């Protein structure tokens, strides 16, 4: 049975060279825009990047992902002759219910994993002594974090997943490939120095895998859009680590980044999500056939 989401790539102009050129153009627009924003940030701080979290820097960092989102949309439209909707869903209209349900399920799973970690390792999660200082990040996160996560989803789970789906139809292998591609740019994150290269590859690849698998299983990007947004919002606002790629003030401060626990808990969450997507009541909630 043909996957409706992957089938969107069969419409419009889909020669292989268009995808190669499209990926190159998207990366150029993305990195060019990010460089421009880094120059603005450097100028605003007198040439030195701040060592502590700043709402302005947080907002600028998230806003820079607009270039990735716009680049993906424009390449999809101009080079392939397809609409943004073709990267989002094959169904008649975009469903906010699926987006919100994906966000809620992932937020609950992440919260439970953090509570278990806090109980197993007392003192690892410390309440921020200045919770009022988190409010600017909360407001910025509500507005701009969905921009950042949607940019990554449209590029990796939208454009790249549909592109590679023209060559590889097996969903698990396709999700594994997408997870590895997703891991590549994230290996530049500062957390890698703490987690180690091997565990970082596994962690980010597994994260990309579950987003891709959910997209293939539900045949729409909507659920993954919600999951990714909820994941980064939780990290940026509720429980963050000092050297995280998302430099914020959060309600809880993680004193020790435990890559082993993080990977194990992620594996558990991934298995649970895969099991949930196979149940009839979850398909009914998501309004899937």
Q: What is the pLDDT along the chain (289 residues), one digit of tens a residue?
A: 789 999 999 999 999 999 999 999 999 999 998 888 778 777 766 666 566 778 988 998 899 999 999 999 999 999 999 999 999 999 989 999 999 999 999 999 999 999 999 999 999 999 999 999 999 999 999 999 999 999 999 999 999 999 999 998 899 999 999 999 999 999 998 889 888 899 999 999 999 999 999 999 999 999 999 999 999 999 999 999 977 888 899 999 999 889 999 999 999 999 988 888 888 888 787 777 5
pTM of the model: 0.94
Q: How many domains does the chain fold into?
A: 1
Is residue 19 a contact partner of residue 161, using CB atoms and an 8 Å limit?
no
Give the model's pLDDT for residue 86: 96
Burial class (CB in 10 A: 0-12, 13-18, 19+), 25: middle
Query: Which residues form the domain of 172?
Result: 4-285
Structure tokens, 87? 């990267």
Is residue 199 a contact partner of residue 165, using CB atoms and an 8 Å limit?
no
């Amino acid at each position: 049975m043909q996957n409706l989401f992957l089938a969107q790539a069969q419409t419009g102009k889909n020669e292989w060279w268009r995808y190669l050129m499209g990926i190159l153009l998207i990366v150029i627009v993305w990195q060019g825009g990010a460089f421009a924003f880094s120059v603005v940030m450097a100028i605003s701080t007198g040439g030195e990047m701040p060592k502590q979290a700043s709402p302005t820097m947080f907002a600028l960092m998230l806003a820079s992902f607009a270039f990735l989102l716009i680049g993906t949309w424009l390449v999809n439209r101009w080079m392939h002759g397809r609409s943004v909707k073709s990267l989002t869903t094959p169904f008649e209209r975009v469903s906010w219910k699926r987006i919100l349900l994906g966000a809620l399920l992932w937020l609950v799973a992440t919260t439970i994993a953090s509570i278990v970690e806090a109980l197993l390792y007392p003192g690892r999660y410390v309440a921020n002594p200045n919770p009022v200082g988190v409010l600017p990040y909360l407001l910025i996160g509500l507005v701009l974090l969905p921009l950042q996560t949607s940019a990554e989803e449209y590029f990796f789970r939208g454009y790249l997943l549909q592109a590679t789906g023209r060559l590889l139809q097996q969903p698990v292998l396709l999700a594994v490939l997408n997870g590895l591609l997703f891991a590549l740019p994230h290996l530049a994150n500062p957390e890698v120095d703490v987690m180690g290269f091997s565990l970082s590859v596994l962690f980010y690849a597994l994260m990309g895998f579950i987003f891709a698998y959910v997209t293939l299983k539900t045949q729409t990007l909507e659920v993954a859009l919600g999951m990714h947004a909820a994941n980064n919002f939780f990290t940026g606002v509720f429980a963050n680590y000092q050297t995280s790629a998302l430099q914020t003030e959060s309600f809880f401060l993680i004193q020790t980044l435990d890559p082993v626990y993080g990977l194990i808990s992620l594996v558990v969450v991934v298995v649970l999500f895969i099991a949930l997507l196979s149940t009839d009541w979850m398909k009914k909630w998501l309004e899937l056939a």
